[in-house]
A and B are shown apart, each in its own frame.
Chain A
Amino acid sequence: MDILELIQANILTPVVLFFILGIVAARIKSDLKMPDAISEFLPIYLLAAIGLHGGLEMRNTGFSDMLIPMLVAIGLSLVFTLNHYQILRRLGKFNIFDSYALASTYGAVGAVTFSVGLSFLKNQGVESEGYLAAILAVLEPVSFILAIFLTNMAVSKQIQSKKQSLHEGTLDNNEIVEQSKTNLSKVLHESITGKAIVILLGGIVIGYLIGDEGFDSISIVFDELFTGAIAIFLLEMGIIAGQRLDDIKKVGLFLVAFSILLPTFNGIIGVLVATALGLSLGGAVMFGLLMASASFIAAPAVLRHAIPQAKPSLYITSALGITFPYNIIILLPIMFTISSMAHNLEAPINLFNYLGINSL
């Protein structure tokens, strides 16, 4: 199918239409608003459903295929985060804190984007590998941990050099190193025990344990309601994104371009790498989406504590206001088309060699 046709068809899905409705409602200053409890509940529900499905499929397919894609995903996520940092710091001239915060926001994964991707594939009648839910869970903290570690390093180096210039000889950086270590282990603990990861991994385990038979009794909630729940959640996301549209002017042209070009680049690399690793058509799209998506629910909670100096308005606005709509409306169909083309190629091994030389 033609890419434009696919984008057009994608816009006319309920999920995307509800998102647009939310933006419109916010722009015309309607008082339309989700009750707080529901907007807190829906991400938990979505993650539980993703986890359950992942667990069910892993029971059927086993874990053995999972390891290599997972390691590759972690590797790519780390490389992308470093790459983002260099681009933001050198080309964008952002300060070190904003650069690391933005780099990790874009290196991290978006669970909401992931659920929209699943419903997109459902629409297309395509399946994806269940273990991608496990990759989602593992990827969630990876890029934050890297960015926070590097920020701490940079800060302690700065303090060290300042101290050195003030009074030579009397260095006491043990304390600083110790402090940044506790900071990091706290963040590590917080992100691993965070609600997103607990519910996602818990869902995977439960799905794995109950199997298809056990799932029958709850499938009406976790299967049939799934797309509808995403539609409602995206209405809320649309409202929040709509309220932030004015802020986009403040983030500057560079960041706007960054929030569109980088996900495109990361996503396409993701699709090609996943295809080379032997993931299915749908699996490669989801893998690409993991690489392309930016985190906007977990990111502020983690970064506000770990890198408080970074401006949250930058990373939330760009991730939610620009990258998220772009990803679900335009990039998904593009990646789907690329994945279809890549899966029709005769020789995936050549592709693997090609990528091996150029990007890994």
Chain B
Amino acid sequence: MKLFDVKLLTVTCEILAQKNILEILNKHGITGYTLYEVDGNGSKGVRGQGFKNEKNIKIEIISTETRLKDIVEEITRSLFSDFAIIVYLSDVQVLRPEKFI
């Protein structure tokens, strides 16, 4: 079976930044992503308890390295200063590369 190298971008952030992140994805032509609610602990304390507005989410996007790097750059520039966000890129392998380009 032939596997193709692509990148996985994972964004963990407060739920109130969700809209901003999705806007950025949309702007860069990303149409597929996976999003889920998560709990956790970090520099802003234990998150995910209490109000719905204070939950965290995790978004996963698979695409090419260049496109994801543009997205990371924009998230860094526009959201890092005001929101609780963790962003990382990792290597993944997929079967059908045309789905992720």
Q: Which residues of A contact B (CB under 8 A)?
A: 33, 36, 39-40, 239-240, 243, 297, 300-301, 304-305, 308-309
A39 to B51 CA separation, bound complex (whole angstroms):
8
Across the interface, do A297 and B51 meet the contact criterion of CB distance under 8 Å? yes
**Contact residues in A for B27 (Cβ distance below 8 Å):** none
Neighbour of B51 across the interface among A240, A308, A309, CB < 8 A: A240
Which residues of the other chain, A, contact B49 by a CB distance below 8 angstroms? 33, 240, 243
Residues of chain A within 8 A of B91, CB atoms compared: none
Q: What chain A residues lie within 8 Å of B83 (beta carbons)?
A: 304, 308
> 1/0 contact trace for B55-80 toward A, CB 8 Å?
00000000000000000000000000
Q: What separation, in Å, do the CA atoms of A199 and B53 have in the docked complex? A: 18
Contact A305 B19, beta carbon cutoff 8 Å: yes
Contact assessment for A300 and B50 in the assembled complex, using a CB-CB cutoff below 8 Å: no
A300's partner among B19, B20, B54 (CB-CB below 8 A) is B54
- Count residues on chain B whose CB falls below 8 Å from chain A CBs: 13
What are 10 pairs between A and B in contact, CB < 8 Å? A33-B49, A243-B49, A300-B16, A300-B53, A301-B53, A304-B16, A304-B53, A305-B20, A308-B83, A309-B81
Q: A239 to chain B: which residues have CB within 8 Å?
A: 50
B residues contacting A by CB (< 8 A) are 14, 16, 19-20, 49-54, 81-83
With the chains together, A48 CA to B81 CA distance in Å?
A: 38
8 Å CB contact of B82 from A36, A301, A309: A309
Residue ID in chain A nearest B50 by CB atoms: A240
| In contact, A300 and B51 (Cβ under 8 angstroms) | yes
Chain A at the B interface: mostly helix, strand, loop or mixed?
A: helix
- Complex Cα distance, B50 from A33, in Å, reads 9
Q: Could you tell me the distance between the alpha carbons of A309 and B79 in the complex, rounded to whole angstroms?
A: 10
- Are B16 and A40 in contact, with the CB atoms below 8 A? no
Cα–Cα, bound, A305→B83 (Å): 10
CA distance A254 to B50 in the complex (A): 26
Known: A304-B16, A305-B16. 8 other contacts (CB 8 A): A40-B52, A240-B49, A243-B50, A297-B51, A304-B14, A304-B53, A305-B19, A309-B81
The residue on B at minimum CB distance from A309 is B82
Residues of B within 8 A of A308 (CB): 82-83
CB-CB nearest in chain A for B46: A243
Q: Whole-angstrom distance between the alpha carbons of A72 and B14 in the complex?
A: 37
Smallest beta-carbon distance A37→chain B, Å: 10
Most buried by A among B16, B49, B54, B83: B16
From residue B11, how far is it (CB to closest CB) to chain A in Å?
16
Which residues of A have CB within 8 Å of B51?
39, 240, 297, 300
Q: Closest Cβ of chain A: how far from B8's Cβ, in Å?
A: 27
A243: chain B residues within 8 A (beta carbon)? 49-50
CA–CA, A301 and B15, complex, Å = 10
